[in-house]
Structure 1
Amino acid sequence: MTHAQDNRIAFVNGEFTPLSAASIPVMDRGFLFGDGVYEVTAVIERRFADDDAHLTRLDRSLREIDIPNPYSASVWTEIERDLARRNGLENGLIYIQVTRGVAERNFQYPTGLAPTIVMFPQFKRVQDNPIIETGAKVVTLPDQRWSRCDIKSTSLLAQVLTKQAAQQAGANEAWMVRDGSITEGASSTAFIVTKEGQIVTRRLSSAVLPGVTRRTIMKIAHGMRLDLVERNITPDEVLTASEAFYTSASTIAVPVVAFDGQTVGEGHPGPVFQTLYKTYLETIMAQTPEY
């Protein structure tokens, strides 16, 4: 979609406006410093997937960097639904970006700034990604991010460079490595399934984002009485695993069939992944009402 053809409606600081006409001041601290946070919720057949959890994480991220949450969860929800209706969004993503606001350029920030709020949709069927059938290629790259990866910051330069390097290497995603262990994907949570059938993902800490889709997938696994543990994963363990996959709001879950140029498992999406993915979609369709 080119800029001239972009008919989407955005929400900017309390007003709905054509995205092509939307703007923020040059002195916005989000533009100058990346001083803000964001969230993204998938919309699947007019259903907002895991939205309460995304808004809870948004509130936490804002509190962690001392930005007052401009809206209650119920108001955020109302605006999201209104934005989806105005755009005719049945399948896609809703992004929320909140910055500290506008002030003269200075590292220190004054108190009492009004946060800048931007929301916009993307149109895609996250549940119909062809890579679900073929599987993804993943490469390892150094984790170059800051020490508070648990905050969903708009400062994403490290992820941009990592994603670009992965693409140039012919991969779909990068799993970042720090101190010999995988932290997470450049925009996803990493999982493996051992040959003994144990599902493994890294324990939450300031080194990783508390993935919302991660949490739901884990809840489904526990409900199915699957063996699941949280611990560090080394790159070598991925190569001896029977399966690997990653999760995110914008992809739901994606099977990994190649890792650093070597085949993972049988080289195709495995049964544990397929069961969890299918159950996730069934759960969203059964338990989440249409907007």
Structure 2
Amino acid sequence: MTQAAVAECYYVNGRWVRPEQAVVPVEDRGFQLGDGLYEVIRVYAGQPFALDRHLARLERCAAAIELALPAGRDELAALAAEAIRRRGLLEGQVYMQVTRGVAARVHHFPADAQPSLIVYAMPGRIPDPALYERGATAIVVPDERWLRCDIKSINLLPNALAKEKARRAGVLEALLEREGKGITEGSSSNVFIVQGGRLITAPAGPYILRGVTRDLVIELAHAAGVPVEERFFSRAELLAADEAFLTSTMMEVMPLVQVDGHTIGTGVPGPLTRRLHAALRQLTPSVS
């Protein structure tokens, strides 16, 4: 961070406040029911990356749950930029959350609730650069989530349970396997495998969150002439893959070299993984 940080760096429903003032009412539906959405936007060189894509996804998800956003795309973009400025942030993330608002506890949508909006910037959890050189490890766990994984809901309990299993196993990620489908995604990432020079990843739809980085990597692969198949793949296909990697806003393109104790490919980050990560990095702002 730079020295320009401002104490009032949390935006809460129309006001910039100090951290200790950034509180949630007890009857906020996000707090009680998980009735809300969020976005995490990566910051490079003080600039929000792929912001329009993130805000477009927020709008799509809001429409899916019939939640009226309290601000338009231009205003949300301005709030993200202001959050970065107030925090004096060069590298990190912007967190943006919208809930249906405060109302007496009922399960149906209250008629009089006003949506709540929170925006703030923070350094974020940027992976150790050495991890990209040696590659990450993962385990496979059952996918126990609901059938609208395409909605970026703040209700993340199944994801948290899976991530805790990964932590206890001493690995970076838990890969989710849905009965009758195969590997869907990670607890906080999308998953790709490489077979014979082509990429394979689970299709967009209700079983995965369509990641911004996932979409960018697919576009970069197409531009480079790399075939892409959007289909589910089995755990056996994953273990037999030439390469595998994870994508997410904070991880970018993370090589995956071991799953459930089995070595993937040669056990080191593969050439196509490295190539796509380098291509993604070319799109990101850098400090001049």
Aligned to 2:46: 46
Residue 25 of structure 1: how far off its partner (Å): 0.7
CA distance in 2, matches of 1:104, 1:132: 48
Q: 1:26 to 1:171 in 2, by over 3 A?
A: same
After superposition, give the CA deviation of every residue in 1:117-160 in whole Å (9 maximum; x if it has no partner): 11122204747643212211110000111110000000000001
Amino acid at match of 2:111: T
Amino acid at match of 1:101: G
Aligned to 1:184: 185
% identity of equivalent residues:
38
CA distance in 2, matches of 1:73, 1:128: 33
SS of the aligned residue for 2:184 comes to strand
- TM-score, with structure 1 as normaliser: 0.93
Amino acid at match of 1:193: V
Matches within 5 A, 1:73-112: 73-112=73-112
Contact 1:103 1:109 in 2 (8 A): no
CA distance in 2, matches of 1:248, 1:38: 15
Contact 2:79 2:119 in 1 (8 A): no
Contact 1:47 1:284 in 2 (8 A): no
Aligned to 2:194: 193
After superposition, give the CA deviation of every residue in 1:210-265 in whole Å (9 maximum; x if it has no partner): 11110001111111111111111111011111100010112111100101111111
Amino acid at match of 1:140: V
Structure 1 spans left out of the alignment, 5+ residues: 1-5
Matches within 5 A, 1:59-208: 59-124=59-124, 126=126, 129-180=129-180, 181-194=182-195, 196-208=196-208
CA distance in 1, matches of 2:151, 2:18: 30
Amino acid at match of 2:44: I
CA distance in 1, matches of 2:125, 2:102: 35
CA distance in 2, matches of 1:271, 1:125: 25
Aligned to 1:234: 234
Contact 1:242 1:264 in 2 (8 A): yes
**184-193 or 118-127: bigger deviation:** 118-127
Contact 2:39 2:97 in 1 (8 A): yes
- TM-score, with structure 2 as normaliser: 0.94
Residue 89 of structure 1: how far off its partner (Å): 0.8
Contact 1:44 1:125 in 2 (8 A): no
After superposition, give the CA deviation of every residue in 1:72-105 in whole Å (9 maximum; x if it has no partner): 1111111110110010011001010100000011
Residue 171 of structure 1: how far off its partner (Å): 1.2
Amino acid at match of 2:250: S
Amino acid at match of 1:144: E
**104-113 or 230-239: bigger deviation:** 104-113
Residue 284 of structure 1: how far off its partner (Å): 2.1
SS of the aligned residue for 2:284 comes to helix
CA distance in 1, matches of 2:148, 2:94: 24
Q: 1:278 to 1:141 in 2, by over 3 A?
A: same
Amino acid at match of 2:192: F
Q: How many residues align?
A: 282
Structure 2 spans left out of the alignment, 5+ residues: 1-5
- State the superposition RMSD in angstroms: 1.8
Contact 2:42 2:49 in 1 (8 A): yes
Q: Does 1:270 align with 2:267?
A: no
SS of the aligned residue for 1:190 comes to strand
